[in-house]
Amino acid sequence: MECNEIRELLSLYIDQMLDDHEQKEIEKHLSACEACNQEYQDLNEIHLLLSGMDPVPVPEAFELRLKQALQEEKKRTSGYGGPIKSLFGSKRYRMLASAAAVFAVGVLTLGVYQDVLGDFADKLGFIDRDGIEHAAPRDAEADLYGISNDEAGSDDSMNNQPNQLEDQPVQDQAQRNKNSEVQEMKLYQAQIDSDGAASSGQKNAPLKKEAAGLTAPEVASDNGAAADGAPSSTTENSDSNGAAGSAPAGGSDTAGLENIKEKELSFGSLAQDEVRAKSKADQSGNSCSRSLTSSGVERNTAAVHFYMGLIEERLEGFDYQVLESGYAPTGEWNFKIFIFRGKDGNTYNEEIRVIGKDGKIKIICSNEITEL
Amino acid sequence: MSSDLNEKQLIQKAKMGDEKSFESLILGCQSKAYNLAIRYLKNEEDAMDALQESFIKIFRHLNSFKEDSRFDTWVYRIVVNTCNDILRKNSSRKTTDSIFRTEDDKETVLEIPDSSGAPEEVYDKKEKSEHIMSCMDKLSQDQREIIILRDIQGFSYDEISEILKCSVGTVKSRINRSRLKLREILMEQNL
């Protein structure tokens, strides 16, 4: 063996980590080579001196210190203050807090929206108020069974609603007197029924078609049905309403339909809405504008529900939060969604956008999210 | 075999939160762990801090300990990592606290007990050991660390490989290079 090779093995020789053959080779070399032998002697002395040092005793104070520290640690992890502290310091808490903040903003936004457009919540569901409850479902049933034709064919019905609205005292509406409202709705429905019964069946066919076009999205919006048809029928509806809005009240079948629509919507809304609609109509002299306002809200609800349904299907298994939704003049519905966790369990914390158009949704995200 | 069984039982109990079992477990490696810390940090107070921090970490993460590996080696690894963290923090502060305590502008070496041999021999050995220890400060942290583990603490190559999470081959070459470097420093000092 060369000196260089011996140098490499000296520590292993000292630590007795070599096999017998290598050991003998080194011993042979060391007895012959003065320089290598000196190096070995030095290294061995260092090793012996360092390994011969007595251990330093652990200070007595340490035992007590450790006991106290362990007790504190135990208290921290299982005691009263522990979990709270860890929860507040954790990522999960921060995520929950941000989700709660988003939810709070959502609730506030809805509150503001409600103030601007009237009792939006009441328009969304006809469930809470007995008299109103039947309005939209009735539309659906009427549509299904073809009984809306009679109502639609009634010319008298066009004038009924404004009169009815005028009969309702403003004070009562402001106080939201439920009983009188219910009574009013019942009366109103009775009137429609009687009008429908009295009217002829001449206009059945065309009116049915148009009435169906008007009522379908609203039914879809509240019952969550007719998913595929919802966006397209809303567009149709919008056009139809637009035309009706420009036409003078009464006189034509289309105008008649609008009034019926208006009536139907007023069934699904609160008396307060009707007062608002009435005051608007009084100002403009065009009762159809009320119908536009109301149906706009209904349409929006339908589209949001529809696209939310698609989004829910698409994001099944994801941990996400819908941050906001909005409608663009281009006919697109935009949804901002925050993805906390993917299907694969990975944390993303990414904001994505979903665009809903023509009954389909498109997902836009800057970073790749598995299975999205 | 029975001590292994006993250790496993203690680990199981400690994992359930039994403080006494935990104390019994760490008692077996406390002295070596403390010596490891004091050689790394060269200061009694820092060594106690490191040891306490290490034991709390162990107590906190005991559930993550895989019972197919050795408990004491796991403990020493945590102690070594904690000491390295403290050294990193201290290096930014350029602390002068060391085994050499400053007293009236004169450095005195912290007592290293050695009770073997005749008084003169003991004194000579102590002098030499202290001289080597002071020269070790001129090694890199990696070289110093391996000398502490192998020569001072007497860990085997396998144990060092487990503590430092590196191969035995790496341990072998590092030990040899570090010893040769230390010899070189000592020779420079003696000149």
> Which of A37-41, A226-230, A315-319, B153-157 shows the lowest per-residue confidence on average (mean pLDDT)?
A226-230
Cβ–Cβ of A15/B22 closer than 8 Å?
Answer: no
* Topology of the domain comprising B110-191: Arc Repressor Mutant, subunit A (1.10.10)
User: Nearest Cβ partner of B182 from A46, A66, A70?
Assistant: A46
pLDDT of B36: 95
pLDDT of A335: 86
Percent of chain A's residues with pLDDT above 70: 45
Percent of chain A's residues with pLDDT above 90: 15
CA-based nearest residue in chain A for residue B27: A63
Higher pLDDT pick, A353 / B108: A353
Cβ–Cβ of A54/B150 closer than 8 Å?
Answer: no
pLDDT of A318: 84
**Spatial separation of the C-alpha atoms in residues A356 and A307, rounded to whole Å:** 6
Whether B27 and B41 have beta carbons less than 8 Å apart is answered as no
Cβ–Cβ of B48/A62 closer than 8 Å?
Answer: yes
Residues of A with CB under 8 A from a CB of B: 7-12, 15, 17, 39, 42-43, 45-47, 49-59, 61-62, 65-67, 69-71, 73-74, 77-78
Instruction: Give the closest-approach CA distance of B68 to chain A in angstroms.
Output: 26
List the domain boundaries for chain A: 3-51, 128-298, 315-364
| Chain B residues whose beta carbon lies within 8 Å of the beta carbon of residue A43 | 179-180, 183
Cβ–Cβ of A11/B176 closer than 8 Å?
Answer: yes
**Spatial separation of the C-alpha atoms in residues A210 and B95, rounded to whole Å:** 88
pLDDT of A300: 66
Higher pLDDT pick, A206 / A97: A97
Whether B65 and B173 have beta carbons less than 8 Å apart is answered as no
Segment of A167-176, A210-219, B127-136 carrying the highest mean pLDDT: B127-136
- Rounded to whole angstroms, what are the CA distances from A252 to A113, A118, A152, A255, A292? 34, 30, 12, 5, 17
- Rounded to whole angstroms, what are the CA distances from A150 to A35, A142, A143, A261, A291? 120, 10, 11, 13, 20
User: Nearest Cβ partner of A50 from B22, B23, B129?
Assistant: B129
A312: pLDDT strictly greater than 60: yes
A256: pLDDT strictly greater than 50: no
A140: pLDDT strictly greater than 80: no
pLDDT of A340: 84
Higher pLDDT pick, B159 / A205: B159
In Å, how far from its chain's centre is CA A267? Answer: 29
Cβ–Cβ of A46/B132 closer than 8 Å?
Answer: yes
- Rounded to whole angstroms, what are the CA distances from B93 to B45, B56, B86, B101, B105? 17, 25, 11, 17, 21
Asked if B122 has any chain A CB less than 8 Å from its own CB, the reply is: no
Query: Among A9, A53, A74, which would you mutate to test the B interface (most chain B Cβ atoms within 10 Å of its Cβ)?
Result: A53
Q: Please report, in tens digits, the pLDDT of each residue of chain B (191 residues total).
A: 456 658 888 898 888 888 888 889 899 899 999 999 999 999 899 999 999 999 999 998 888 888 778 899 999 999 999 999 999 888 776 544 444 444 444 444 455 555 555 666 667 788 889 899 999 999 999 999 999 999 999 999 999 999 999 999 999 999 999 999 999 999 988 75
| Chain B residues whose beta carbon lies within 8 Å of the beta carbon of residue A69 | 52, 55-56
Two tokens, residue A358: 């023509």
User: Nearest Cβ partner of B38 from A39, A56, A70?
Assistant: A56
**Spatial separation of the C-alpha atoms in residues B163 and B81, rounded to whole Å:** 9
pLDDT of A305: 84
Query: Among B183, B186, B188, B189, which would you mutate to test the A interface (most chain A Cβ atoms within 10 Å of its Cβ)?
Result: B183
Confidence tier at A357 by pLDDT (50, 70, 90):
confident
Higher pLDDT pick, A221 / A195: A195
Cβ–Cβ of B34/A53 closer than 8 Å?
Answer: no
Cβ–Cβ of A12/B172 closer than 8 Å?
Answer: yes
pLDDT of B76: 96
Query: Which CATH class, in words, describes the domain spanning B1-95?
Result: mainly alpha
**Spatial separation of the C-alpha atoms in residues A243 and A258, rounded to whole Å:** 10
Cβ–Cβ of B52/A65 closer than 8 Å?
Answer: yes
**Spatial separation of the C-alpha atoms in residues A17 and A27, rounded to whole Å:** 14
Segment of A167-171, A245-249, A275-279, B32-36 carrying the highest mean pLDDT: B32-36
3-state secondary structure A263-331: HHHHHCCCHHHHHHHHHHHHHHCCCHHHHHHHHHHHHHHHHHHHHHHHHHHHCCCCEEEEEEEEECCCC
Instruction: Give the closest-approach CA distance of A80 to chain B in angstroms.
Output: 17
Whether A278 and A171 have beta carbons less than 8 Å apart is answered as no
Asked if B61 has any chain A CB less than 8 Å from its own CB, the reply is: no
Cβ–Cβ of A66/B128 closer than 8 Å?
Answer: no
A225: pLDDT strictly greater than 70: no
Asked if B15 has any chain A CB less than 8 Å from its own CB, the reply is: no
List the domain boundaries for chain B: 1-95, 110-191
Cβ–Cβ of B19/A74 closer than 8 Å?
Answer: yes
pLDDT of B175: 96
| Chain B residues whose beta carbon lies within 8 Å of the beta carbon of residue A35 | none
| Chain B residues whose beta carbon lies within 8 Å of the beta carbon of residue A19 | none
pLDDT of B90: 82
Nearest to B78 by CA among B17, B151, B162: B162
Cβ–Cβ of A70/B55 closer than 8 Å?
Answer: yes
Average pLDDT, chain A: 62
**Tens digit of each residue's pLDDT (9 = 90 or more) over A89-135:** 456 667 788 888 888 888 888 877 766 555 544 545 444 443 333 43
| Chain B residues whose beta carbon lies within 8 Å of the beta carbon of residue A74 | 17, 19
Higher pLDDT pick, A156 / A39: A39
Asked if B48 has any chain A CB less than 8 Å from its own CB, the reply is: yes
A156: pLDDT strictly greater than 90: no
User: Nearest Cβ partner of A11 from B35, B133, B179?
Assistant: B179
Higher pLDDT pick, B126 / A233: B126
A248: pLDDT strictly greater than 70: no
